[in-house]
């Protein structure tokens, strides 16, 4: 059996990267990021390099057993890919949805920058909806 080809089109790279994260396949995701990766959820401090990036991704994996990405829009200009999406990251019945805009920059066919921006009001609303959904689910049992 042959290994799947690593994509070269910037949008394909980002889509395969997101799909790997949804499957919690960190090894596959790491194949698509540059060794000098910078990952930042603005306004939080960035993770720099493979080690810090992998540490943050493993932290998400410890917190969550659900990660879904609904891609609303994706566009590329050369090696820069912009995304507008809704991310669902949660555990069990607590699954808040968060609107996110992301910038991915590629170098040598791999993601060297991933910067997400979100609205704190939207984050709080997502958390409240997630808690309400979990509480309703428990109440129906």
Q: What positions carry a catalytic annotation?
A: 87, 116
SS3 (DSSP) at 71: strand
- Two tokens, residue 66: 């659900």
Burial (CB count <10 Å: 0-12, 13-18, 19+), residue 59: exposed
Nearest to 106 by CA among 3, 17, 1: 17
Nearest to 60 by CA among 88, 102, 86, 28: 88
Backbone φ and ψ for 118, nearest 5 degrees, come out as -145, 165
């Amino acid at each position: 059996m042959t290994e799947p080809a690593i994509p070269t089109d910037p949008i394909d790279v980002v889509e395969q990267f997101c799909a790997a994260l949804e499957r919690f396949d960190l090894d596959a995701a790491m194949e698509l990021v540059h060794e000098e990766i910078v990952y930042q959820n603005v306004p939080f401090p960035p993770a720099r390099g493979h080690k810090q990036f992998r540490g943050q991704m493993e932290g998400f994996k410890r917190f969550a057993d659900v990660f879904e990405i609904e891609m609303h829009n994706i566009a590329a200009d050369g090696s820069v890919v912009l995304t507008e999406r809704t991310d669902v990251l949660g555990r069990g019945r607590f699954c808040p949805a968060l609107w996110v805009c992301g910038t991915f920059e590629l170098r040598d066919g791999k993601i060297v920058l991933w910067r997400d921006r979100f609205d704190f009001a939207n984050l709080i609303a997502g958390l409240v909806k997630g808690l309400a959904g979990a509480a309703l689910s428990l109440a129906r049992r």
